[in-house]
A and B are shown apart, each in its own frame.
Chain A
Amino acid sequence: MASVELQNISKVFGGLRVIDNLNLTVPDGSFTALLGPSGCGKSALLRMIAGLEQISEGRALIGGVDITNEEPARRKVAMVFQSYALYPHLTVEENVCFSLSLAGMPKAAQKERAAGVAKMLQLESLMARRPAQLSGGQRQRVAIGRALARNPEVFLFDEPLSNLDAMLRVQMRLELTKLHKDLKTTMIYVTHDQVEAMTLADQIVVLEKGKIQQVGSPWQLYNQPANRFVASFIGSLGMNFLPARATPSGQGATVALGDSTRIDLPLRMTAAQPVELGIRPEHLHLVAAGTGDIAGKALLVEYLGNTSYAYIESAFGQVIVEADGSESLETGPPWG
């Protein structure tokens, strides 16, 4: 087990700075998710930790040891690839044992290690099969097993669940959580799916354009987003941003939305200024016309079973409101 520390890391491809002067500490035993939109540099960052990509600038430490220029195999990290990359000519057992066999471990010891891994991941009945004879979920488990067999100090996952269907993804998510509970090994997990990040991780790193936007627990990211990007990226439909005006008052500030609505917030400011007020759809309610704070007309209602989303055209622009799924909503009538 080991912590991972990245100090002023950059990655340059050609002239393009894909990762820009990034600092990050992944504590020992943490399950950290790297979250961000496509192309933001998540994979590049992970591959630098793995050693598959040269670190252009900066230092990387694993367990306090500088591994910036170390061979991938000697970093004590194991990686699970999005495509699994199981060796097609080897059986499941041989796949799991491949690294051990390369390292010259005796056959009997290899078998023993493989048996332990198989037990942990319920692979026993599959050991003699080849990857082509496995389902997607089984391949995924073998890929994890292959990483496990090496007894790494850090696990790296690059979007490991993205090739699975929705049901299987939920199930594998639970298995990964359980695995982390059992092993308590540091895990770094790349995903562009915020649900995966929120459910699996104890620490989430939100990346955009090669820069860290925020590092925090799922709770912090949802409730205390550091900036507009994080606020709109986290949450099922993002956030509504409404133009407002803030004035200092007492300890905090008062935000005025339109003429009548006043909200007191614990903000520190010196002078009055225009601001944007971010409100999540799930924190707004629909009320009868004329009784609410924001008046508007519903343009569109998305019905999702347990809940619905109403897209409301208001004086402040389009506002999304989450409504109880039991109400039958119609587009057209004005809402308060």
Chain B
Amino acid sequence: MTAISNPSARRINHAAGALTALNVLVAIFWAFPIYWVLVTTLKPEQDIVRPGIDLWPDRLTFDAYTYVLFNTQIGQWYLNSLVTAGSVTFAVVLMSAAAGYAISLLEFPGRKLLWWLILASFMVPIPALIVNHFVLMSQIKLLNTWAGVILPQLLAPVTVMIYKQFFDSVPKEFREAAVMDGATQMQLLFRLYLPMNWGITTALAIITFIGAWNQFLWPFLAVTTQDKMNVTVGITQVTDAFGVKYARDLASAVLAGLPVALVYLIFQRRVTQAIMLTVGIQG
């Protein structure tokens, strides 16, 4: 820095300061509801409905959490969510990688058509299909089963597109070298193309998992018995005959969201990368 003060530099500093302050303000505004939820779950029910705003509980209690954990089937719901979201993730990633590979690198009749179909299916919003899905699943008797929850979620054109784009971008010499080394198509996919960039696969797996875990509409329609519900659907069952219990409802919401929040925190960088990838396709 020079000793001579530069008026325009100072103006920039003021502007940057104002921007930072604004950022902090918006961040507080954004985070406040989350904070409010957490605080509320730690209050006794009577204190919640008391008039006035208590930013910190007078009496701290974990009653709401213990109630949800021990008096509902949340354990089963977790399991259901884990199994369905896990299966969806595994199947979507595997099928998309294979489909993307075939469309990008294999010569077969109908390849263009298949690609156009996948592009077209991307234009159809999933909720528009939900009645058909329901009718189909009920006809093949898969309502109230894991399979019924999983199958309609396997439509993932965006993942196919991301894989195709990636495979397109790999220089063809790698493929040719591996072909000369004697690789079959399966070996090319699983020993060359996927391992070459596990980042893409992990990013897509994480974002698919979070999406499947957070699914509400379809699991809500496909399941009516409590013991087959996903956690997102199950928490709507934590109601009480004697009116709304805010602490319990919010505690169940916190518990439902917790695994996703953890996944996000652990794989933050990968998730951001995945979002960039999908935005690249959708933007």
Contacts and interface: CB of A to CB of B under 8 A. Distances in A.
A103 B182 contact: yes
Contacts of A79: 176-177, 180
Interface residues of B, number: 18
Interface in A119-172: 146, 150
Nearest to B191: A102
A87 interface: yes
B196 A52 contact: no
15 contacts: A51-B180, A52-B176, A72-B180, A73-B182, A73-B183, A85-B174, A85-B176, A85-B177, A87-B192, A89-B198, A98-B178, A99-B180, A99-B181, A102-B181, A146-B181
Given A73-B181, A99-B182, A102-B181, A87 B196 contact: yes
Interface string A75-115: 00111010101011100000000110011000000000000
A323 interface: no
A72 B179 CA distance: 7
Contacts of B187: 102
Contact of B179 (A73, A78, A83, A87): A73
B240 interface: no
Nearest to B188: A102
B182 A85 contact: no
A83 B171 contact: yes
A102 B183 contact: yes
Interface string B159-196: 00000000000010110111111110001000110011
Given A99-B182, A102-B181, 5 more contacts: A52-B176, A52-B179, A83-B171, A98-B178, A98-B181
Which of B173, B176, B180, B195 has its CB near the most chain A CB atoms (within 10 A)?
Answer: B180
Contacts of A51: 180
A87 B197 CA distance: 11
Contacts of A87: 174, 177-178, 192, 196
Nearest to A81: B173
Contacts, number: 52
Nearest to A79: B180
Nearest to A74: B182
Contacts of A81: 173, 176-177
A50 B175 CA distance: 14
B171 A150 contact: no
Interface size, A (range): 20 to 34
B182 A102 contact: yes
A60 to B, nearest CB: 15
Given A81-B173, A102-B187, A102-B191, A89 B178 contact: no
A99 to B, nearest CB: 4
Nearest to B193: A89
Given A83-B171, A85-B171, A87-B174, A78 B196 contact: no
Contacts of B182: 73-74, 99, 102-103
Contacts of B180: 50-52, 72-73, 77-79, 99
Interface string B106-119: 00000000000000
Nearest to B176: A52
Nearest to A150: B181
Nearest to A51: B180
Nearest to A103: B182
Contacts of A150: 181
Contacts of A50: 180
B107 to A, nearest CB: 12
Interface string B35-78: 00000000000000000000000000000000000000000000
A185 to B, nearest CB: 16
B196 A89 contact: yes
A85 B171 CA distance: 8
A94 to B, nearest CB: 10
Contacts of B177: 79, 81, 85, 87, 146
Contacts of B171: 83, 85
Interface string A47-61: 000111000000000
Contact of A89 (B173, B181, B183, B195): B195
B260 to A, nearest CB: 30
A53 B182 CA distance: 16
A28 B174 CA distance: 29
A146 B195 CA distance: 19
B93 to A, nearest CB: 18
Contacts of A78: 180
A98 B196 CA distance: 14
